[in-house]
């Protein structure tokens, strides 16, 4: 969704300039958008695609029309990519169910569902496809501190779909894996290097470590627009966004009695906090990548064979 939103952001900037607003160039709008999320590569991919398509167009009306057409094209492509990720990824769930002959327990982290995409999601697309095919699935939903995207977004999304799920605190996943209660881990990606290192929401790396220690398959679902072909070493080369520390020091929620939404401090005043939004999971911990082109090993050779 970040890439799609950026594409429409470029369109809105062109429309504003056409209507006599601030006369920013597409390059100015691009710079503003690119500064918002340094870790997610598909934002840069969509912005670059818009810039290339708008190059040489001086007529404001034509530029706006072209920007809108490209944004709609990127949106349609995103939907199709996620649908195909679901069709490829469901095979993993089918295989487990065939052997287990019982409900498949999948653990996911953060929100990589249709609220984070246009439709279907990436990590959730195989879950919805499994549900559609009548395969019994249960999802362990990491709360995903500090923004609680799992507890607030993924859980809501799964509830709307009637898909069985349980919200767990972030540190529970390892315990569940030790006791054989997780069959598969599927997460999304904000940026994946050409060698298979994966940048995703903070805490993903710890899930991958626990999965490896307990022999649980760890898969990453991602569209090709999330692959950064220019870098190889994710730990050394992917910039990690640091967000406002108030996200750590405060939590927002609905008060039990009044049902009012409130912001509540949960750390002592004067205690400093750090808020790294993402971490990098080395390719060696990733069982495979689920893409719109198929499933491949998280290796430079595996990715290249699938896409080039």
Q: Where are the beta strands (DSSP E) in the chain?
A: 104-108, 137-142, 165-168, 184-187, 191-193, 198-201, 218-221, 227-228, 250-254, 261-265, 278-281, 288-291, 294-296
pLDDT (average), residues 191-215: 98
Quote the tokens at residue 70. 């490209």
Tokens 């491949």 belong to residue? 296
On the question of pLDDT at 139 being above 60, the answer is: yes
- Which of 131, 126, 41, 40 is CA-nearest to residue 86? 126
Query: Residues 170, 183, 190, 228: which is the catalytic one?
Result: 190
pTM for this model (two decimals):
0.90
- Residue 103 C-beta-side C-alpha neighbours within 13 Å: 13
Position 22 scores a pLDDT of: 59
The angle formed by the CA atoms of residues 107, 36 and 70, to the nearest 5 degrees, is 90
pLDDT (average), residues 84-106: 98
Q: How confident is the model at residue 26 (pLDDT cuts 50, 70, 90)?
A: confident
Q: Please check whether residue 190 is in contact with residue 39, taking contact to mean a CB–CB distance below 8 angstroms.
A: yes
Could you tell me the domains of the chain?
2-75 (no CATH), 87-233+277-307 (3.40.50.10470), 242-275 (no CATH)
Q: What is the mean pLDDT of the chain?
A: 93
Instruction: Convert the pLDDT of each residue in 228-248 to its tens digit.
Output: 999 999 999 999 999 999 999
The rounded distance, in Å, linking the Cα atoms of 118 and 230 is 26
The rounded distance, in Å, linking the Cα atoms of 36 and 33 is 6
Q: How far is CA 291 from CA 46, 124, 171, 184, 298, in A?
A: 18, 13, 28, 17, 11
C-alpha 90, offset from chain centre: 18
On the question of pLDDT at 213 being above 70, the answer is: yes
Position 57 scores a pLDDT of: 83
> 190 catalytic, yes or no?
yes
- Which of 165, 105, 177, 173 is CA-nearest to residue 135? 105
The rounded distance, in Å, linking the Cα atoms of 183 and 260 is 38
Instruction: Convert the pLDDT of each residue in 79-94 to its tens digit.
Output: 999 999 999 999 999 9
On the question of pLDDT at 20 being above 70, the answer is: no
Q: Please check whether residue 199 is in contact with residue 244, taking contact to mean a CB–CB distance below 8 angstroms.
A: no
C-alpha 199, offset from chain centre: 10
């Amino acid at each position: 969704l970040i890439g799609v939103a950026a594409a429409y952001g470029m369109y809105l900037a062109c429309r504003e300039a056409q209507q006599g607003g601030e006369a920013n160039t597409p390059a100015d709008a691009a710079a503003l958008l690119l500064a918002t999320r340094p870790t997610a590569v598909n934002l840069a991919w969509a912005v670059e695609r818009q810039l290339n398509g708008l190059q040489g167009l001086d007529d404001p009306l034509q530029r706006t029309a072209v920007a809108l057409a490209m944004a709609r094209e990127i949106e349609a492509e995103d939907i199709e990519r996620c649908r195909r990720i679901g069709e490829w990824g469901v095979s993993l769930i089918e295989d487990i169910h065939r052997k287990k002959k019982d409900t498949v327990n999948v653990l996911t982290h953060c929100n990589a569902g249709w609220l984070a995409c246009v439709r279907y999601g990436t990590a959730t697309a195989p879950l919805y496809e499994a549900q559609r095919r009548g395969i019994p699935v249960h999802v362990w939903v990491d709360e995903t501190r500090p923004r609680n995207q799992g507890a607030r977004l993924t859980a809501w999304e799964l509830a709307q779909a009637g898909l069985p799920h349980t919200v767990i605190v972030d540190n529970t996943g390892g315990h569940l894996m030790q006791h054989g209660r997780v069959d598969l881990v599927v997460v999304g990606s904000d940026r994946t290097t050409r060698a298979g290192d994966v940048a995703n929401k903070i805490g993903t790396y710890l899930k991958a470590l626990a999965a490896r220690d307990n022999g649980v398959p760890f898969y990453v679902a991602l569209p090709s627009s999330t692959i950064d072909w220019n870098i190889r070493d994710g730990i050394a080369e992917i910039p990690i966004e640091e967000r406002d520390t108030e996200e750590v020091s405060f939590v927002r929620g609905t008060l039990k009695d009044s049902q009012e939404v409130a912001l509540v401090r949960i750390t002592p005043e004067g205690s400093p906090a750090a808020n790294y939004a993402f971490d990098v999971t080395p390719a060696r911990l990733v069982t495979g990548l689920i893409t719109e082109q198929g499933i491949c090993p998280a290796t430079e050779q595996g990715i290249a064979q699938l896409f080039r």
